[in-house]
């Protein structure tokens, strides 16, 4: 009788181990998964390199580092100035990661693009890409959709001077600018259509609250028009304020860095472009990782 119970116990243990192993295998990635990035970068004659940081998921069982990447035939290599966490193991190489999850690490790689590379830019002196060929240090290779990166000439205009700006942990930011001369504002826009549902913008023209107060007032109570309801064009006289309030979707899982672009004309009829920089680096949860894997890889 005791032997019978012993075998039953062994069978239960084996079934449990087998079930756990099967579940573990279903949680592994087919390939590392790159998250979505929306970067608007500028180049000028003073800087011939542009750093770009990309974030990706890789299995904890076998974390992979990037060896190099290729975009539209242009190769770029990582720079190793990592600021995340490091896991030390006496028998294995160091593992550097941004966040740790049940079965994956969120890792990053910062590459440097040389803007003096021949044929990198189009006829309008800009360059963009949405996919990268990624080569890992173990020899594996994937074609990764990374969102969109746009590199363009810096407008170099400061007809709207930033006087104050701030942000909060409530996914809000505000920038207060002053016109240095008589201006007509023709357009305020986001450079990426994909983010129009994640980034809300309000435009304030009258004297409004200071930056700190502007971050505290409930979004729906701000005395400012939404970007969609703002009537263009509108005029700014010299020393008039223009305030841009932004609210970021707290559930966004995308990384972005871009300018809210402000386009207009001077009193002399000359066109100008200005803007205010926006950044977002989400702190992801396990549920976010599962959603990203389902969207990118199809795992349910």
Give 68's Cβ-side CA count (13 Å radius): 8
Confidence at residue 22, expressed as pLDDT on a 0 to 100 scale: 38
Mean pLDDT for back-to-back runs of 10 residues, the chain (300 residues): 60 52 57 96 79 96 94 88 54 79 96 77 82 95 95 82 89 92 95 92 81 88 90 93 93 94 94 90 95 80
Confidence at residue 19, expressed as pLDDT on a 0 to 100 scale: 47
Instruction: Break the chain into its structural domains and give their ranges.
Output: 33-153, 160-280
What is the pTM assigned to this prediction? 0.83
Confidence at residue 6, expressed as pLDDT on a 0 to 100 scale: 63
Q: How far is it, in rounded angstroms, from Cα 265 to Cα 60?
A: 54
Number of neighbouring beta carbons within 10 Å of residue 160:
24
Q: Is the fold of 33-153 the same as that of 160-280?
A: yes
Q: What is the rounded (10 degree) CA torsion for 196, 37, 271, 43?
A: 170
Q: How far is it, in rounded angstroms, from Cα 230 to Cα 75?
A: 43
Confidence at residue 23, expressed as pLDDT on a 0 to 100 scale: 38
The closest of 172, 120, 134, 138 to 35, measured between CA atoms, is 134
Q: What is the rounded (10 degree) CA torsion for 23, 27, 30, 33?
A: 180
Contact 191, 259 (CB under 8 A): yes
| Topology adopted by domain 33-153 | Immunoglobulin-like (2.60.40)
| Topology adopted by domain 160-280 | Immunoglobulin-like (2.60.40)
């Amino acid at each position: 009788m005791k032997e019978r119970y012993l075998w039953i116990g062994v069978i239960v243990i084996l079934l449990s181990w087998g079930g756990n192993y099967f579940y573990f295998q279903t949680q592994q990635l087919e390939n590392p998964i790159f998250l979505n990035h929306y970067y608007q970068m500028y180049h000028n004659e003073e800087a011939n390199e542009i750093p770009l940081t990309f974030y990706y998921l890789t299995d904890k069982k076998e974390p992979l580092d990037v060896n190099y990447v290729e975009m539209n035939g242009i190769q770029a290599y990582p720079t190793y100035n990592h600021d995340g966490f490091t896991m030390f193991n006496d028998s294995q190489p160091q593992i550097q990661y941004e966040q740790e999850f049940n079965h994956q690490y969120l890792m990053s790689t910062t590459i440097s693009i040389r803007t003096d590379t021949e044929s990198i830019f189009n006829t309008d002196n800009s360059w963009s890409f949405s996919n990268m060929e990624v080569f890992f240090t173990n020899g594996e290779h994937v074609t990764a959709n990374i969102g969109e990166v746009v590199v363009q000439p810096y407008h170099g205009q400061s007809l709207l001077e930033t006087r104050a700006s701030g942000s909060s942990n409530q996914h809000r930011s505000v920038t207060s600018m002053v016109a240095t001369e008589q201006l007509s504002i023709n357009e305020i826009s986001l450079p990426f259509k994909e983010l129009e549902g994640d980034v809300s913008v309000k435009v304030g023209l009258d004297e409004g609250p200071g930056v700190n107060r502007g971050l505290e007032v409930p979004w729906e109570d701000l005395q400012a028009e939404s970007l969609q309801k703002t009537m263009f064009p509108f005029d700014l006289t010299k020393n008039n304020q223009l305030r841009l309030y932004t609210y970021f979707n707290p559930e966004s899982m995308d990384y972005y860095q871009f300018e809210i672009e402000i386009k207009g004309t001077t009193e002399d009829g000359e066109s100008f472009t200005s803007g205010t920089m926006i950044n977002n680096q989400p702190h992801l949860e396990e549920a976010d990782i599962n959603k990203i894997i389902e969207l990118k890889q199809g795992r349910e």
